[in-house]
């Protein structure tokens, strides 16, 4: 509820000096979503030095050029009040329609209230059959209740990696304002900042990913609530929001320690029993030890799979065996977590060259028991030269 008072004094020749004060009552209802106030004139009262039983008045009330109250409409067709002493008396028919006044970006709002009347001026009064009135229209600029608007987000770094710096700045509607930032993912609160004035900078922790072991990127909602001062006891307006993207940093992956994988020869068939790697006959078989795989940097992710590969082929199920090896081959052993991050180690194995034996200059002949050639001997002798 607010009041506006218009005062005027004027001299009427042969009658005397008169004074009249007109008081307007109004209400204002602020709509924060539209940043405007609904203003309504709720009553008009007049205090006049005219001493008589009844004082007829006429005129209009305008707010920002819009007529909200019409009293009488013209001299002779007026609304009346009870006269008497100079105390305020209500004017009948003083209800008014609503006018909407928009506030500026700081939340401040004002309106121009103007009293207008007939030919004689603002409001008139009859005295002894003659019409007297204020000589000129009266106008005032009225400030409405200020409603400072919540600060707006000016900038926010996105995307930002974990262990990276998130920088946030706001445009404050008042230098007294402070803020708190809340970070949410799917409605779950990840973190809330301490109070800050116009800028915030902090390191994004890997722990934000702990509840999301299969994701490498989080869609985070930033909510910045404005407060009237540093105590953050009184909120101003609704939170400003923005969408930011947080990605897992490159080192959020398994770490390998000594003995995490063991490679051994796998020999079968013609190579069965061979202790070592023979080219064209041997394979390498990997055995993984999850206890020696460090997951402390994976922020909740677990081991999803292992693999061993060589010469472009890979085995991703147990038993983890390579294809047949050749000298110079490199064997790559890998572990992948539920976030799809992989750690690998390469091994060069001692693969021996191997070729099947061949024989040349083969001679077969009959012989005696001691090997002496004898066409009538009862034995055979075979001689060959290995190549």
CA pair distance 121, 246, nearest whole angstrom:
68
- The pair of structure tokens assigned to 41 is 């004139």
> How confident is the model at residue 92, as a pLDDT?
62
Residue 60 pairs in a beta bridge with 70, 116
Do 125 and 132 contact (CB within 8 A), yes or no?
Answer: yes
Question: What is the CB neighbour count within 10 angstroms for residue 162?
Answer: 21
Q: What are φ and ψ of residue 208, in 5° steps?
A: -60, -25
Residue 189 is predicted with a pLDDT of 97
Q: Assess contact for 13 and 135: CB atoms under 8 A.
A: no
pLDDT in the model for residue 219: 97
Task: Please give the pLDDT value at position 53.
Answer: 45
Three-state DSSP class for residue 276: coil
Whole-prediction pTM: 0.62
What was the pLDDT predicted at 50? Answer: 58
* Cα pseudo-dihedral 144, 147, 148, 149, rounded to 10: -130
Cα torsion for 193, 195, 197, 198, to the nearest 10°? 10
> What is the total residue count of the chain?
387
How far does Cα 200 stand from its chain's mean position? 14
Question: Which of 25, 271, 5, 18 minimizes the C-alpha distance to 135?
Answer: 18
Distance CA(202)–CA(162), nearest Å, equals 11
Question: Burial level of 323, CB count in 10 A (0-12/13-18/19+)?
Answer: middle
Q: What whole-number distance in Å separates Cα of residue 46 and Cα of residue 54?
A: 12
Cβ atoms within 10 Å, residue 383: 11
Tell me what pLDDT residue 130 has: 58
- Low pLDDT (below 50) residues in the chain: 52-53, 74, 77, 82-85, 118-123, 134-136
Bridge-based pairing of strands 165-171 and 152-156 is antiparallel
Q: What is the pLDDT of residue 190?
A: 97
Q: Measured between alpha carbons, how far is 126 from 76 in angstroms, rounded to an integer? A: 9
Nearest to 265 by CA among 339, 352, 207, 138: 352
Q: What is the CA radius of gyration of the chain?
A: 48
Contact 10, 135 (CB under 8 A): yes
Instruction: Kindly report the backbone phi and psi dihedral angles of residue 292, in degrees, each rounded to the nearest multiple of 5, phi listed first.
Output: -105, 20
- Give the Cα-Cα-Cα angle 375, 377, 382 (nearest 5 degrees): 80
**8 Å CB contact between 6 and 140:** yes
Tell me the C-alpha distance between 336 and 342, whole Å: 4
């Amino acid at each position: 509820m607010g009041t506006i008072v218009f005062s005027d004094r004027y001299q009427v020749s042969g009658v005397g000096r008169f004074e009249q004060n007109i008081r307007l009552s109004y209400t204002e209802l602020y709509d924060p979503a539209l940043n405007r106030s609904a203003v309504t004139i709720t009553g008009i009262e007049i205090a006049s030095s005219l001493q008589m039983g009844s004082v007829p008045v006429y005129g209009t009330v305008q707010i920002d050029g819009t007529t909200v109250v019409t009293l009488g409409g013209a001299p002779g067709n007026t609304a009346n009040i009870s006269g008497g002493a100079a105390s305020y008396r209500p004017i009948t028919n003083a209800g008014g329609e609503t006018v909407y006044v928009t506030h500026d970006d700081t939340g401040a709002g004002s309106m121009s209230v103007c009293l207008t009347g007939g030919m004689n001026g603002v409001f008139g009064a009859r005295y002894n059959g003659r019409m007297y009135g204020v000589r000129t229209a009266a106008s005032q600029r009225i400030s409405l209740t200020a409603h400072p608007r919540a600060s707006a987000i000016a900038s926010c770094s996105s995307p930002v990696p974990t262990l990276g710096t998130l920088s946030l700045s706001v445009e404050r509607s008042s230098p007294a304002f402070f803020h708190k930032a809340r970070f949410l993912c799917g409605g779950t609160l990840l973190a809330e900042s301490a109070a800050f004035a116009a800028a915030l900078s902090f390191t994004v922790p890997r722990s934000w990913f702990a509840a999301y072991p299969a994701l490498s990127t989080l869609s985070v909602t930033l909510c910045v609530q404005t407060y009237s001062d540093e105590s953050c006891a009184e909120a101003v307006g609704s939170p400003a929001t923005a969408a930011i993207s947080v990605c897992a940093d490159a080192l959020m992956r398994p770490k390998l320690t000594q003995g995490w994988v063991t490679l051994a020869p796998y020999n079968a068939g013609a190579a069965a029993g061979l202790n070592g790697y023979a080219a064209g006959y041997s394979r390498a078989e990997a055995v993984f030890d999850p206890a020696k795989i460090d997951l402390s940097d994976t922020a909740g992710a677990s081991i999803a799979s292992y693999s061993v590969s060589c010469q472009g082929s890979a085995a991703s199920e147990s038993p983890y065996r390579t294809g047949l090896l050749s000298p110079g081959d490199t064997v790559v052993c890998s572990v992948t977590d539920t976030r799809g991050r992989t750690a690998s180690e390469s091994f060069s194995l001692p693969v021996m060259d191997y070729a099947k034996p061949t024989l040349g200059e083969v001679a077969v002949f009959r012989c005696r028991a001691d090997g002496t050639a004898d066409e009538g001997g009862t034995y055979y002798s075979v001689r060959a030269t290995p190549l």
